[in-house]
C-alpha cells in the first residue's frame, strides 16, 4: 500500500498536469456548510456524510467531494470560461464496508465553458484516459441526459414525470414506478383501501407531527389523481425498456438510440449531443469504436450529473471502487447560480488507488 507521503506526491504531480492544461489551482475548506450541500448530493452520499454543528456556524459537514464547493465558488463570481484543479482529502462514512477508506485523497479537473460542450466532454475524458493509460483500465460511459429527456417526454401526468425524475438514481424504485404507472403492477392494497373511503381523514384524530390536516388532504387528493391517471402506453414502455437495455460500443449504441427515438422523440436532441460528443472524442484519438456505452450507467454516481458520465475501473480488482469518475453537471451550476447557468464538466481521480495498482503491476 502506498504511504501518505507517496499519495500526496502523486496528487501534486497530477495537479501540475492539470495546471499545464490551463487549470487554476483552488482550495476549499474541509468543513463545508451542510444545509445546501446535503440537498445537492445523492441519497447515498448524504447517508455517508460526516455532519457536525456548533452554535456559531450551524450544521457543518466534512467535504465528501470537491465539485459542489468549486461550482459554488465559481458561480459566486468566477471568470468565464474557466478551468480549475484541486487536490485534498474527502471524507465518506463506510458503515457497510470496513475495507473501504473513509478518508482519501482526490484530485480533480473542472471545465466551465459554454462554447462547445461536446468538445469539453471529450477533452476531460481524453485527458483522464491518457492519464490512466499505463494502468490498462476499463472505461465505461453513459449519458444521464438521454434518460432524463425520455422521462420528460412521457405522455403522463406532471406528478408521475416528477416522481420518475426524482428516482432516476435509484434503479429499483424507478423500475417499480414504471411497473405501476404502466398498469403492470397493481396499486398497493393499503392505498386502495385508504382511497376507497369517502373521507380517509374522518377518524384520524388530532393533528400530530409536522404535517397539517390540509397537507394530508392535499396528499390524498394527489394519490387519487395518480390512481385515476391513464397508464403509460405500451409503445412508450417498450421504448423505455429498450433504452434502459442499451449496452453497446458507441457506434452501435448510437444506431440503437436513433431507432428508439422514433417512439421516444423527446430523446432526439440528447442523441444528437451524444453523436457530437462521439465525433469530438474521435477527434482526440479516443477509440470510440471499442468504447463502452451503457444507457443506465451513472445512476449510482452523484445525483448532480445530468449528461455525459464516465468511470475507469480495474478489471482484475473488483474489490476496488472506480479509480476515476466524471461527468457533466449543467443543472448544478444553474441551481447554485440562482438561475444563471454555464455548461460544466469535470472528473476526479484517486492517486492512492493509482499507486496501489501500479504496485500490483496492474
Max alpha carbon distance in the chain (Å)? Answer: 69
**For range 29-54, the mean pLDDT:** 77
State pTM to two decimals: 0.88
Q: Which of 27-31, 49-53, 281-285, 329-333 has the lowest mean pLDDT?
A: 49-53
The grid coordinates listed for 138 are 476499463
Q: Does residue 222 or residue 269 have the better pLDDT? A: 269
Average pLDDT, the chain: 89
Please name the residue that has the C-alpha cell 474527502: 90
Q: Does residue 355 or residue 219 have the better pLDDT? A: 355
**For range 234-250, the mean pLDDT:** 97
Question: Which CA distances in Å does 339 have to 70, 75, 127, 203, 335?
Answer: 17, 10, 30, 45, 6
pLDDT in tens, 128-166: 999 999 999 999 999 999 999 999 999 999 999 999 999
> Concatenated DSSP letters for 87-148?
EEEEE---TT-TTS-SEEEEEEEEEE-SS-HHHHHHHHHHHHHHHHGGGTPEEEEEEHHHHH
pLDDT at residue 35, rounded to an integer: 77
C-alpha dihedral sign at 21, 24, 25, 30: negative
Domain boundary assignment for the chain: 4-27+64-150+239-360, 157-232
pLDDT in tens, 162-201: 999 999 988 999 999 999 999 888 777 776 666 666 666 6
Percent of the chain whose pLDDT exceeds 90: 64
* C-alpha closest to that of 143 among 303, 343, 308, 279: 308
Rounded to whole angstroms, the Cα distance separating 252 from 240 reads 18
* Helix residue ranges, H only, the chain: 4-19, 34-40, 43-47, 67-75, 117-132, 144-152, 158-166, 171-181, 189-196, 213-228, 234-244, 250-260, 268-283, 330-336, 351-360
Above 70 in pLDDT, residue 315? yes
Query: What would be the CATH architecture of the domain defined by 4-27+64-150+239-360?
Result: 2-Layer Sandwich (3.30)
pLDDT at residue 119, rounded to an integer: 97
Rounded to whole angstroms, the Cα distance separating 271 from 267 reads 6
pLDDT in tens, 104-114: 999 999 999 99
Report the 3 state secondary structure along 57-81: CEEEEECCCCHHHHHHHHHCCCCCC
pLDDT in tens, 204-221: 656 656 666 677 667 777
Amino acid at each position: 500500500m502506498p504511504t501518505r507521503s507517496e499519495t500526496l506526491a502523486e496528487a501534486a504531480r497530477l495537479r501540475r498536469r492539470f495546471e499545464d492544461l490551463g487549470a487554476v489551482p483552488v482550495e476549499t475548506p474541509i468543513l463545508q456548510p451542510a444545509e445546501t450541500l446535503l440537498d445537492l448530493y445523492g441519497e447515498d452520499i448524504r447517508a455517508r456524510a460526516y455532519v457536525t454543528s456548533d452554535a456559531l456556524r450551524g450544521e457543518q459537514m466534512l467535504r465528501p467531494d470537491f465539485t459542489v464547493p468549486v461550482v459554488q465558488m465559481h458561480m459566486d463570481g468566477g471568470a468565464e470560461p474557466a478551468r480549475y484543479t484541486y487536490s485534498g482529502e474527502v471524507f465518506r462514512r463506510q458503515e457497510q464496508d470496513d475495507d473501504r477508506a473513509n478518508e482519501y485523497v482526490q484530485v480533480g479537473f473542472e471545465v466551465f465553458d459554454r462554447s462547445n460542450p461536446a468538445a469539453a466532454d471529450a477533452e476531460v475524458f481524453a485527458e483522464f484516459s491518457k492519464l490512466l493509460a499505463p494502468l490498462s483500465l476499463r472505461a465505461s460511459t453513459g449519458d444521464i441526459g438521454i434518460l432524463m429527456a425520455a422521462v420528460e417526454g412521457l405522455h403522463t401526468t406532471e406528478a408521475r414525470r416528477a416522481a420518475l425524475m426524482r428516482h432516476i438514481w435509484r434503479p429499483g424504485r424507478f423500475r417499480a414506478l414504471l411497473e405501476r404507472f404502466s398498469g403492470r403492477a397493481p396499486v398497493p392494497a393499503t392505498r386502495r383501501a385508504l382511497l376507497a373511503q369517502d373521507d380517509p381523514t374522518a377518524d384520524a384524530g388530532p393533528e400530530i407531527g409536522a404535517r397539517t390536516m390540509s397537507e394530508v388532504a392535499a396528499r390524498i387528493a394527489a394519490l387519487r389523481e395518480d390512481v385515476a391517471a391513464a397508464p403509460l402506453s405500451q409503445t412508450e414502455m417498450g421504448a423505455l425498456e429498450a433504452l434502459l437495455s442499451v449496452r453497446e460500443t458507441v457506434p452501435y449504441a448510437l444506431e440503437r438510440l436513433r431507432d428508439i427515438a422514433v417512439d421516444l422523440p423527446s430523446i432526439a436532441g440528447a442523441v444528437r449531443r451524444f453523436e457530437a460528443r462521439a465525433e469530438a472524442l474521435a477527434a482526440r484519438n479516443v477509440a470510440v469504436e471499442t468504447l463502452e456505452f451503457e444507457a443506465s450507467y451513472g445512476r449510482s454516481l452523484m445525483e448532480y450529473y445530468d449528461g455525459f458520465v464516465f468511470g475507469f475501473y480495474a478489471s482484475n480488482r473488483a474489490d476496488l471502487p472506480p479509480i476515476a469518475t466524471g461527468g457533466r453537471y449543467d443543472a448544478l451550476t444553474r441551481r447554485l447560480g440562482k438561475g444563471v447557468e454555464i455548461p460544466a464538466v469535470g472528473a476526479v481521480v484517486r492517486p492512492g488507488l493509482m499507486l496501489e495498482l501500479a504496485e500490483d503491476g496492474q
